[in-house]
Structure 1
Amino acid sequence: MTTEYASTGDPRRGIELLWGLREPARKGPKPRLSVERIARAAIEIADAEGLAALSMRRVAERLGVTAMSLYTYVPSKAELLDVMLDTVYAEVTGRGDGDDEGGWRAKLARVARENWALYRRHPWLLQVSTRRPVLGPNLIAKYDRELSAVDGIGLTDVEMDLVVSLVSDYVHGAVRGAVQADALVERTGMTDEEWWRRAGPILAEVLEPERYPLAARVGAAAGAEYGAASDPERSFEFGLSILLDGIETLLRAKSATTAGHDSGAGTDATS
């Protein structure tokens, strides 16, 4: 799978485009195109066929215009990719009715599941390295919303950033298996359960359980449970629970350290 890289264009040109400062000024009738319309067309292509199919020419064909006409709005494919990313980030920036419900754990779990669903809707996101983030309004809003899940729970600002990054990195890794499973079913026309029903009996003919006792026992139990070789969504939820447990351990340790310092200060003051 080819990796694309976000924010590879000119930083000023890209940020101005993301924040709506490069929309061409025109007089007369409303123009046929806009940056948003171009981005939506590009997203539709990427959703259906992956980033390998994306080009300025393909987007132009989808919109019924010439490729050259796109460059009036979007300077290059590099900036187009950045706008695409920021556009889909808008899907998880709005604060819903349930955002304030529950404690930090419920809020972080909600953040993780929303990002999981975002990757499932737009699997091409896994093909983009965001080591240099797309500094658009929707990314900033997304980051702010995710930070609010851990605001005021005893973390420093840097720790808040690290926790949000930890959750984001976990989702990015965990969802890859689910996206690959989706693509595999589409490519082969066979579900994992169907494949397992065909492959399982053949494996039983050649596998010697006494040579691999743990693999045979655990693999049989897992296969019977999942009806497949694995269950990406169940693995995601299991790992998320363990991850949140780890963050809770961190918070307890910080709370105990703070209490110890306060106790020590009180003892010194009265001695």
Structure 2
Amino acid sequence: MTKEHGDRRDLGLSLKLLWGDRTRPPRGRPPTLTLDQIVAAAVEVADELSRTEGIEALSMRAIATHLGVGTMSLYRYVPGRSELLDLMLDHVIDVPDDEPDDERGWRGILADEAREHWRLCMDHPWYPFVDQSQPLLGPNSMRGLDRLFRRLRPSGIDDRTLMMMFIVQNDFVEGIARSHLNERRAERRTGMSNEEFWQTQIPTLVDALESGDFPTMADLADDTFDSAYDEIFEFGLNRLHDGFAAFIAGRAG
């Protein structure tokens, strides 16, 4: 059975690294690096590797090479790749400064949160592919949740419902992001654009449609398949929020 990121990590050490003193290694000679430098370098390496390969390609050796140090020196700061991934996931979360008098309402707040999450996935293409079935809450993720719920609570929606709305939205964003990133990765890996990929199929598909075996497909509008992922994302997000709004209104009635 394949082990996922969370199966390999030392939970206690990950929590200690996330919430403890990160300025120096726990033992050995005076430090030449900081843990934050290692995490930032790991994010840079993962960003580059994940444009053509998966997060599986990230290794302690690749990070050490990027930093110009020996691989074993990294283990003075972090026990392994799994714990490092926990630190990376928290590192890339950017929590904006709070703004007073937020009047966007729950829908505007969640929409902006979703678009920020989408940008995070696009900026760090490895992020939505890391197994977070048992996520660790670090300082940045905790700060982000604290800020989000502080803004959402004036809506009057109970905390449990707000959390379920947030989880459903996050899963939607990351699902669409993975599809989009897989398409982009395939383009780089094969050297064939998505448009070229579909162009190679057109003669075969035209023959199939003209056979009469697929009358509904043959009658589809010309622009049926023209939606880009950004458009699909916005369409799905709005329909998701329409569903939340209908649920909230029905419960209030």
User: TM-score, normalised on structure 2?
Assistant: 0.86
- Could you list the per-position Cα deviations for residues 208-239 of structure 1 after superposition, in whole angstroms to 9, with x for gaps in the alignment? 3632122222374313xx1xxx5222111111
Letter in 2 for 1:35: L
The count of corresponding residues between Structure 1 and Structure 2 is 246
- Distance in 1 of aligned mates of 2:32 and 2:181: 35
The residue type paired with residue 66 of structure 2 is R
Which of 243, 249, 252 is the matching residue for 1:252? Answer: 249
Other-structure match for 1:66: 70
Which letter maps to 2:111? Answer: A
Stretches of structure 1 that go unaligned for 5 or more consecutive residues are: 257-271
Deviation per residue, 1:108-148 (Å, 9 max, x gap): 11111111111111121222111111221011112223334
Q: Give the whole-Å Cα distance in 1 for the aligned partners of 2:109 and 2:211.
A: 44
CA contact (8 A) 1:154 1:254 kept: no
1:81 match: 85
Code of the residue aligned with 1:76 in structure 2: it is G
Counterpart position of 1:115: 117
Code of the residue aligned with 1:177 in structure 2: it is S
Change in CA separation of 1:71 and 1:53 when aligned onto 2, cut-off 3 Å: same
2:235 aligned with 1:233, yes or no?
Answer: no
Q: Distance in 2 between matches of 1:190 and 1:139?
A: 37
User: Does the Cα contact within 8 Å between 1:24 and 1:73 map onto a contact in 2?
Assistant: yes
2:61 alignment partner AA: R
- Using structure 1 for the length normalisation, give the TM-score: 0.80
Q: Does 1:200 align with 2:197?
A: no
Quick check: 1:146–1:164 contact (8 Å CA) kept in 2? Answer: no
Aligned with 2:217 (options 208, 215, 230): 215
C-alpha distance 59-99 of structure 1, shift in aligned 2 (>3 A): farther
**What amino acid does structure 2 have at the position aligned with 1:126?**
P
Name the amino acid aligned to 1:114. Answer: E
CA RMSD, 1 decimal: 2.6
Cα distance, 1:99 vs. partner? 9.3
CA deviations 1:56-91 (Å, max 9, x no partner) are 1221111111112111111222211111111112x3
| Superposed displacement of residue 98, structure 1 | 9.8
Check the 8 A contact 1:45/1:54 in 2, yes or no: yes
Alignment partners' CA distance in 2, 1:168 and 1:45: 25
State the shift of 1:197 in Å: 3.7
When residues 95 and 254 of structure 1 are mapped into structure 2, their CA distance, relative to the original with a 3 A threshold, is farther
User: 2:24 touches 2:35 (CA, 8 Å); kept in 1?
Assistant: no
Note if contact 1:39-1:83 (Cα within 8 Å) is conserved in structure 2. yes
Q: Which residue of 1 aligns with 2:180?
A: 178
Task: Name 2:144's counterpart in structure 1.
Answer: 142
* Secondary structure of residue in 2 paired with 1:151: helix
Structure 2 Cα separation of the partners of residues 197 and 96 of structure 1 = 48
How far apart in 2 are the matches of 1:124 and 1:149? 29
Contact 1:4 1:127 in 2 (8 A): no
